[in-house]
Structure 1
Amino acid sequence: MTTTDWGPIIVAVVLFILLSPGFLFQLPARVRVVEFGNMGTSGFSILVHAILYFCLLTIAVVAIGVHVYASKSGPVG
């Protein structure tokens, strides 16, 4: 029986979707500091969102220790 820890993968995918620049918010924006749902981006905004992604992913996986285990078992008998 093998077990796989899906916690880091799930957290990484969810954070990647939520922290995509311009999807929910863009920090920093072109006109203001924060804009919501503008679907635009800039190079500096990508850098800021990448740093936020790395920090939140590290906190969730290392400090909090999010774990989701899925076991795969073969046929019994």
Structure 2
Amino acid sequence: MSDWGPVLIAVVLFVLLSPGLLFQLPGRHKIVEFGNMQTSGLSILVHTVLYFGVITIFLIAIGVHIHTG
């Protein structure tokens, strides 16, 4: 049996938390900017920490599993 939960959650979070796609934290002119398709080094660092925290919660604390086969 294959466990697709970690793979699916990682891909969805990677797309949603890409800096500049949906939002950018911190933005260039404001604290939060939405849909500006730009990024900065600090924004990449903040989104990386958010990604690590959310994926840790979903995979370790909650234990999401999707089994196939």
Q: Considering the TM-score relative to the shorter chain, is it more than 0.5?
A: yes
> Structure 1 residue 69: deviation in Å?
0.3
Runs of 4 or more, structure 1, over 2 Å off, are none
- Taking structure 1 as the reference length, the TM-score comes to 0.89
Structure 2's unaligned 5+ residue stretches are none
The offset of 1:18, in angstroms, is: 0.1
User: Residue 39 of structure 1: which of 37, 40, 49 is its match?
Assistant: 37
Larger radius of gyration: 1
Bigger share in helix? 2
In the alignment, which of 8, 11, 29 is matched to residue 10 of structure 1? 8
TM-score, scaled relative to structure 2:
0.99
State how 1:1-77 maps to structure 2 within 5 Å: 3-71=1-69
Identity rate, percent = 64
- Report the Cα offset of residue 9 of structure 1: 0.5
The number of equivalent residue pairs is 69
Output the aligned Cα RMSD.
0.3
Q: For residues 9-39 of structure 1, what are the alpha-carbon distances to aligned partners after superposition, in whole Å with 9 as ceiling and x for unaligned?
A: 0000000000000000000000000000000
